[in-house]
Chains A and B, each alone.
Chain A
């Protein structure tokens, strides 16, 4: 069985086919795959006895359920005014320079995707960002370079 199909089968058998489990199932796919491919959504629809359009319509409502191919690590830099005031732009520039990508892009090796997001709830310790589920606050350009470096080391080759 292909990995996406077995992931979906496994999630649905563990969580159940009830509609209320749709979000947890989709979250489970994203946790492993970083995004929802069209194929994954079709498999979820089949396994939960829903139309693919229902799954797509629900999934695309939620900004963390990406439906474009993402890198292994998704960087989400907070763009709320308080983080901007504390130097968010320098953080973004440091990331863009280091990874040679712009906001919305993925590195060619598929390791990082750079995105912005709304308030992460760390305004007193801005600038802040998420890398997948991990929070980093009080960022400086040096700190952010170190953080990304450590992710590079653990990246799947």
Chain B
């Protein structure tokens, strides 16, 4: 198993004053060159799913469509994640440059930032940046316009196809996949959806080159990642770290000396108990990395004073509220799971019922329509299996 020592890096928030130069210099290359650079950097999406960014741009550029769209996903709703807001407040020009380059590569003239309603206070400042950026594009003859679209308090709209529905003025209910957004996205046209952080990494690659980017991280998890660190830690905040470190190193750096478990990846992620800190790597899944946990960057630390039952109860309450309700396994499943653990805790059902609930999460994983319903099993099984007693007593 390849692991990397914990290393703090400063690429994401460093100087963006060179954005005009980076934009011009990148656009001086042809589209194939840009795609090849991204592909060889092995950059993977930072929104959670980890799809290779170069391939996404390539597929969209090749897909037939009268119009194409570039969408920046700033819906950031995963509990424990707060990095995208920080990026948009501090280095929004980097995001816009990467959006513009992507647009040129795929043939889009319109870019949209889907911003969660909770971050509405950012709009005036962002609009100023967008105007300045637009003016520069106008002067250099680049035909690309960006607008902000505000969400209204629905976590599921961060799922890319639900996001399209929302943009089109409908309930944010995920669509079936396939067809994938690269072929059939916003308004039924080929669309690239990228997370805010993914776009900033693209900027880093434009600036320093794919080779430099690839030097960071480990096999199948290249580059750095922004982590949103919260919970029982003396130094909660946002940290850019090289991918591929072990969880034990992470805990050594950020824990309070009494860390009992870490939830990696928010409510849709996994809980890792202390005994598995050593063997767990933070990065995307790959053949070489062993037990490797991907994350949108949410890292919640819990010390021994915390009840894991309360943690799970909180996550299930979240899923129950945020399920779009479109498909039965997820809509009803979330309710049964939430009610179920409360009944076991109150002694109204015996402990064996937890086994039944675990089976239910397996069914949800197989039959739910989108990532929300499918990933409830992650936190449920990792918490229940590792902290069985805490669920009962």
Q: Which residues of A contact B (CB under 8 A)?
A: 18-24, 26-27, 57-58, 61-65, 79-82, 84-85, 117-126, 130, 133-135
Chain B residues positioned under 8 Å from A19 (CB to CB): 168-170
Number of residues in B with C-beta < 8 Å to the partner? 48
Most-contacted residue by chain B among A18, A117, A118 (CB, 10 A): A118
Chain A residues positioned under 8 Å from B238 (CB to CB): 124
CA A131 to CA B77, docked complex, whole Å: 18
Contact with A along B166-193 (1 / 0, CB 8 A): 1111111100000000000000000000
B78 is an interface residue with CB less than 8 A from chain A: yes
Shortest distance in angstroms between B270's beta carbon and chain A's nearest beta carbon? Answer: 15
CA A79 to CA B118, docked complex, whole Å: 14
B121 is an interface residue with CB less than 8 A from chain A: yes
The answer to whether B231 and A122 touch across the interface, beta carbons within 8 angstroms, is no
Chain A residues positioned under 8 Å from B81 (CB to CB): 119, 121
Q: Which residues of B contact A (CB under 8 A)?
A: 76-82, 85, 116-121, 149-155, 166-173, 228-232, 236-238, 300, 306, 310-311, 314-315, 317-318, 321-322, 324
Chain B residues positioned under 8 Å from A120 (CB to CB): 118
Chain A residues positioned under 8 Å from B119 (CB to CB): 121
The answer to whether B311 and A118 touch across the interface, beta carbons within 8 angstroms, is no
- The answer to whether A21 and B169 touch (CB under 8 A), given A62-B153, A118-B321, A124-B228, is yes
The answer to whether A123 and B153 touch across the interface, beta carbons within 8 angstroms, is no
Chain B residues positioned under 8 Å from A18 (CB to CB): 169
CA A40 to CA B54, docked complex, whole Å: 46
CA A26 to CA B300, docked complex, whole Å: 35
A-B pairs, top 6 by smallest CB distance, nearest first, are A64-B153, A123-B230, A124-B236, A62-B152, A63-B153, A22-B169
- The answer to whether A82 and B79 touch (CB under 8 A), given A23-B152, A121-B118, is yes
CA A155 to CA B31, docked complex, whole Å: 55
Chain B residues positioned under 8 Å from A21 (CB to CB): 169
Residue of A nearest to B83 (CB): A121
Residue of A nearest to B229 (CB): A124
CA A109 to CA B66, docked complex, whole Å: 54
Chain A residues positioned under 8 Å from B322 (CB to CB): 118
Residue of A nearest to B232 (CB): A85
Chain A residues positioned under 8 Å from B315 (CB to CB): 81
Instruction: Give 24 pairs: A residue, B residue, CB < 8 Å, sorted on A.
Output: A18-B169, A19-B169, A20-B167, A23-B150, A24-B149, A26-B152, A61-B171, A61-B172, A62-B151, A62-B153, A62-B154, A80-B318, A81-B310, A118-B79, A118-B155, A118-B321, A119-B78, A119-B80, A120-B118, A121-B82, A121-B116, A123-B300, A124-B236, A135-B118
